[in-house]
Chains A and B, each alone.
Chain A
C-alpha cells in the first residue's frame, strides 16, 4: 500500500468519528500546552535570572581578597608581582589591583568616612559617569576624585552623630563639584619605645572632585558606595607624602616600617570564558587568597532552577501521560468498532503491516494535531504570562515565559511520538484480529 493512501485512509477514519477525535485531540492539546508552558516558564525564569546577574556585574570576573593584609610580618601579601602571577594562570585575561585606603571627607559641618580606591585607568574608564563629569587623570601629582552616587547619603554631623539621610531622609547639604571638599587620610599609628600607640594625624587636603558616578542617590551599582582615584597617582602621592613613614592603609613590617612595595587588599581577575572561571578561582585560592565570583551562586541558582524546571515539566508530563491513555483508549474503541472492517480488509488482501501502519498513523495524527494546537495555545498562554507575571515576580519587563524553537520542534515530535506509542498496542491488536470477523453475518 502507498503511504499517501494510508494517510488518506487514516485521516478519513478520524474524520468519520469527528467528535471522538476532537475530544482525544483536546487531551493531547492540554497535555502539550501544559508541558510547553511549564517548560517555557522554567526557561524564561532562568534567562531572566541570568540577565539579572549579568546586569549586576561581569560573570567572568573573579574578586580576589587578601583579608590577611594587616597580619603578622610574614603574611602573604598581594603585590604587583602577584598580579603577574595571576596573569600567568591559563585563561586569565587581566589582573587589576585595587589599592584601598580610608579617607575622611568634610564640607561645612558634614563629615563622612569613605573607602578610597586607587584603580588603573582601564578600570576607571568603565565606570559610568554622571553628566559633566570626567575621569581622574593619571600621571599628575594632584589626586583627582570620582565620587560614587550614594556617598552623599553617608555624611553625618560629628558633633551629634546625626545622619540626615538615614535619620530623616534628607540629604546633607554637600556639593562635591561646586564647593570645596576637604579630604584627609586616616591617621597612622606607631608605637614608641614603651609600646604606647602614637597617632600621627594626616593633613587636610583639597583634592578636586572631577566626577560623579552616574545614577541617583538610591540607584545601586557596583561603584555607588566608593570614591575612586587613579592608582599610579595615589601610589605616587602616598610615597611622596609619607616618605620613610608608615602609609595609611598599608601594612608595616615588624619594626613599624613600611614595605618598599604596595600591598593590595583587593584585585579583580578577568577570565576569558565563563567555563574557566571555576578553574581559575581554584588556582587563586591555591595561592592563599580569597577568591569569589558570581559563578558560585549562579551554579547554585541554576541547580534550584533545574529542580523548578523538573517539577514544572513533571506536572506537564503527567497531563500528557493522561492524554496518551486517552489516545490508547480511543484507538482501542475504534478497533473494536471496526473489527468487521479490519476483517474485510484482511480478506481483501491488506497486509498486516499496512493495517498496523494505518492505526499507528491515526494515533500519530491525533498526537500531531494535538501537539500543533497545544503549541498555539501555549503561545497565547505564554503571552498572557509575560503580560501578568513579571510584575508579580519582580523581574521588571523581562520575559518570564520563553518558547525557544527547539521547544517547538521537540513538543511536536514528542506529542506525535506519544500518539504512536499509545497507538502501538491497539495497532498490534488490530493485526491479530481474525479475517473471519468479516464473514460473520450480524
Chain B
C-alpha cells in the first residue's frame, strides 16, 4: 500500500459526561487515523458515541482526555476563539438537518462561510457558483431553501461545506432526513467529490448500507472501536460486478 498523508490523528480519546452522579463514557479510548483523499465512515448503533466523536473532531466539543491533531494542529488545546478560527480555515461541516439560512438563496447560503472570512462579494459569489455547479444545482441557485426538496437542500449544504476548500469535511448522518433513493444519490455525489476533487471526508451513519460507500469503515460500539474495515477492494469488486451486469 502506498504511503498516505495523515489528515486526522486521534489518540486515546475519552469523553465522559456527568449526568447527576452517573458517569456516561460516551468515548472510551479511541485511536485512529484519517488519510488524505479518503472517504471514511464511522458506523455504530444509536448511542454508541459516533456523534460525540465527530463533534470533537470538528472542534465543537472538548475531549475529556486524549489528543486530536488535524494536519498536525492539536485542537484539544485550543480555546473557543481559536477553534472558530480553525474551523473557518480548515473544516467543512454537513448537517443532518441541512441548517440552511431561510432568508438566503442557494448561492448566498453557499457563500456564507466565505462571508465569515471577509471575502469581497464578487469573489465569493464566483466561488459559490462553482460549487453550486459541482453539486448540480445551477437551476436552483436563486431559490430559497423552502423552495427546494430535502435532497436539493442537502446538496446546498454540501456545496457550502466544500466552498472553503477545507482540509477535511465532516458529515453527521447527512442522509438522515432523506429517503433511500435520494440518500443513494447523495452518497454517489460524495463519492464523486472525494474521487474527482481529492477531498477528505468523514461521515457518521448508523446504516451499514450507506457506510459501504466509504473507503474505510470504523465500527464503534459503547465508545470503543470494534474494528476498522478496509472497504476499498470490496467496493472495486462490487463496481466491477455491476459493470458486468
Contacts and interface: CB of A to CB of B under 8 A. Distances in A.
A345 B116 contact: yes
A441 B85 CA distance: 25
Contact of A439 (B95, B103, B164): B95
B129 interface: no
28 contacts: A2-B115, A5-B115, A344-B95, A344-B101, A345-B116, A346-B84, A347-B95, A348-B87, A348-B88, A348-B113, A349-B87, A349-B88, A349-B91, A349-B116, A350-B88, A351-B84, A351-B85, A351-B116, A352-B80, A352-B81, A354-B116, A434-B60, A438-B95, A439-B51, A439-B55, A439-B60, A439-B95, A442-B97
Contacts of A2: 115, 118, 120
Contacts of A439: 51, 55, 60, 95-96, 172
Contact of B60 (A340, A347, A354): A347
Interface residues of B, number: 32
A1 interface: yes
A438 B54 CA distance: 13
Interface string A334-368: 00000011001111111110100000000000000
Given A5-B118, A347-B87, A441-B97, 19 more contacts: A1-B116, A1-B118, A5-B115, A340-B99, A344-B101, A345-B116, A348-B88, A348-B116, A349-B164, A350-B84, A351-B84, A351-B88, A351-B116, A352-B80, A352-B81, A436-B55, A436-B60, A439-B55, A441-B176
A12 interface: yes
B61 A344 contact: no
A441 B176 CA distance: 10
B245 to A, nearest CB: 37
Nearest to B172: A439
B163 to A, nearest CB: 10
A435 interface: yes
Interface of B: 51, 55, 58, 60-61, 80-81, 84-85, 87-89, 91, 93, 95-97, 99, 101, 103, 112-113, 115-118, 120-121, 160, 164, 172, 176
A243 interface: no
A260 interface: no
A254 interface: no
Contacts of A352: 80-81, 84
Q: Counting chain B CB atoms within 10 Å of each CB, which of A341, A346, A347, A351 scores highest? A: A347
A413 B117 CA distance: 31
Q: Which size bracket describes the interface of A in this complex?
A: 20 to 34
Interface of A: 1-2, 5, 12-13, 16, 340-341, 344-352, 354, 434-436, 438-439, 441-442
B103 A350 contact: no
A351 B83 CA distance: 9
Contacts of B55: 436, 439
Contacts of B87: 347-349
Contact of B93 (A12, A16, A347, A350): A347
B15 to A, nearest CB: 13
Contacts of A348: 87-88, 93, 112-113, 116, 160
A438 B61 contact: no
B99 A1 contact: no
B87 to A, nearest CB: 4
A340 B96 CA distance: 13
Nearest to B173: A441
A347 B51 CA distance: 15
Nearest to A2: B118
A150 B181 CA distance: 107
Nearest to B92: A348
Contacts of B89: 349
A341 B101 contact: yes
Contact of A1 (B60, B81, B115, B160): B115
Given A435-B60, A439-B55, A12 B116 contact: no
Nearest to A346: B84
Contact of A349 (B80, B103, B117, B176): B117
A65 B242 CA distance: 122
Contact of A351 (B81, B95, B112, B172): B81
